[in-house]
Amino acid sequence: MELRDTPAEAELRAELRAWLQRVLPELPAPPGRDDWPARVAFDTDWQRRLFEAGYAGMSWPKEYGGRDAPPGEQLVFLEETTRARAPYVGVNFVGTLHAGPTLIAEGTEEQKEQHIPKILRGEQVWCQCFSEPGAGSDLAGLQTRAVLEGDHYVVNGRKTWCSFGHVGEFGELLVRTDPEAPKHKGITWLILPMDTPGIEVRPIETLLGSSEFCEVFLDDVRVPVEQRVGAENDGWRVTNVTLSFERGTAFVSEMVDALRMAEELAASVHDAAERRELAHVVAELDALWALTKRNVSQADAHGTPGAGAMMLKLGYSEARDRLGELSMRVLGRESLDVGGFAVEERLRTLSIPIAAGTSQIQRNIIGERLLGLPKERPWPREA
Ligand SMILES: Cc1cc2nc3c(=O)[nH]c(=O)nc-3n(C[C@H](O)[C@H](O)[C@H](O)COP(=O)(O)OP(=O)(O)OC[C@H]3O[C@@H](n4cnc5c(N)ncnc54)[C@H](O)[C@@H]3O)c2cc1C
């Protein structure tokens, strides 16, 4: 693992900085939080600009419109765009950060051709339909049922916490195809066109008063067999590929963002104890950045992020939580200034230890899969 820039990375960094300096001032003002048509237009326009400049899909294969750059260059891209305050992936989150990478790793040729170039050009928005009211942490316990009828799966069930469900054109859908098999063995991963008849999407209002999330009701929804990713009943393996991207690399730009926020907060921290606290958070984020580099090197060798990915999301969630809490304490009433941005940010950070698998579940996974500790016993514990 090399922590310093290679000559190619240094060249990309300089080129990217110049491009960002030129392009960012030309962008329109970001739209309001609840103006969804404008948000989709803004986020997909940014994705298109990245594509046209050759910066979309840094690590994705060239044949589908990516750059085929080594992972180190992908990190340079994330670092520079975040530091320059370029637009966040926004509605392109699922497509670019985990649906696209899953299709590259597991999809058929047709699936790749149909989706990858469009995701890269900002022409296709995705959402994730994994969680259910009774299956979040215990995702493998999902109940949404799919029955094969001819060349279609007929899907019935209910999904929840589906981010961008009301604007997504395609969903990553997990269904149960074999109810008799052990729960991890009867799941299938499907591509769900969100305009299929029988789908009802209902937005859920969050603590922030916005509606990023949706419930998705599926009533006799017919999904063609060719929309299956991986084999029937092999969906849990494919899900773990998706989650390795979602937990391993999808948080990288948020981490750079947290480092930038910590630097900004430093100007307002005068108390010695609080300065020490901030320094600890920054040191931790720096260490996580080094771990990210290691993960990315492993992704280069094996195609998916390595075991360090499991640590990353947990470490980041906790550091970000401490940073949010510290910034409220340091800023005090000042945090209500500038449109209450700091307060909003603090409320948003409360969701980070839950999204993409809670911290408790991440600890179980690290204990059992990484450290080989004994499996947790079902609750309630027997004497
Ligand atoms: C910002 C955000 C975005 C999200 N986006 C999506 C999305 O786009 N698509 C999607 O499908 N889902 C999404 N989710 C849902 C997310 O994956 C779930 O909320 C998460 O997996 C937890 O599941 P749950 O909410 O059902 O909580 P539960 O599973 O009910 O957990 C409740 C509490 O019990 C604890 N717990 C549960 N089991 C154990 C155990 N075995 N050991 C120890 N503690 C345990 C949990 O850690 C948690 O504290 C999103 C969530 C958030 C917050």
Element (H, E) at 347: helix 337-349
* Residue owning the nearest CA to atom 32 of ligand 1: 137
What is the band of 133 on the pLDDT scale with cuts at 50, 70, 90?
A: very high
Q: Name the nearest CA neighbour of 97 among 310, 306, 243.
A: 243
Q: Name the nearest CA neighbour of 235 among 303, 171, 183, 185.
A: 185
CB atoms within 10 A of CB 266: 13
Q: Which atom of ligand 1 is nearest to 127's Cα?
A: 8
Say how far apart CA 293 and CA 311 lie, in whole Å. Answer: 13
Element (H, E) at 127: strand 126-129
Query: Whose structure tokens read 């300089």?
Result: 14
For residue 373, what is the DSSP state?
P
Least confident residue range of 73-77, 126-130, 193-197, 245-249: 245-249
* Residue owning the nearest CA to atom 51 of ligand 1: 355
Pocket of ligand 1 (CB under 6 A): 128-131, 136-137, 161-163, 351, 354-358, 360-361, 364
Q: Which atom of ligand 1 is nearest to 354's Cα?
A: 53
Beta bridge partners of 146: 155
Residues identified as active-site: 246
317-349 tens-digit pLDDT: 999 999 999 998 998 887 777 566 778 888 888
For residue 129, the CA-to-ligand 1 centroid distance in Å is 13
56-79 average pLDDT score: 89
Mean pLDDT, the chain, rounded, equals 90
216-268 tens-digit pLDDT: 999 999 999 999 999 999 999 999 999 877 776 667 788 888 988 898 899 99
Q: Which atom of ligand 1 is nearest to 130's Cα?
A: 11
For residue 137, the CA-to-ligand 1 centroid distance in Å is 5
Beta bridge partners of 203: 214
Cβ atoms of 197 and 167 within 8 Å: the answer is: no
| pLDDT at residue 344 in the model | 82
Say how far apart CA 346 and CA 208 lie, in whole Å. Answer: 10
- Give the global pTM: 0.91
Say how far apart CA 332 and CA 270 lie, in whole Å. Answer: 13
Cβ atoms of 176 and 148 within 8 Å: the answer is: no
Angle of helix 7-23 versus helix 71-83 axis, rounded to 10: 30
161-184 average pLDDT score: 97
| pLDDT at residue 382 in the model | 58
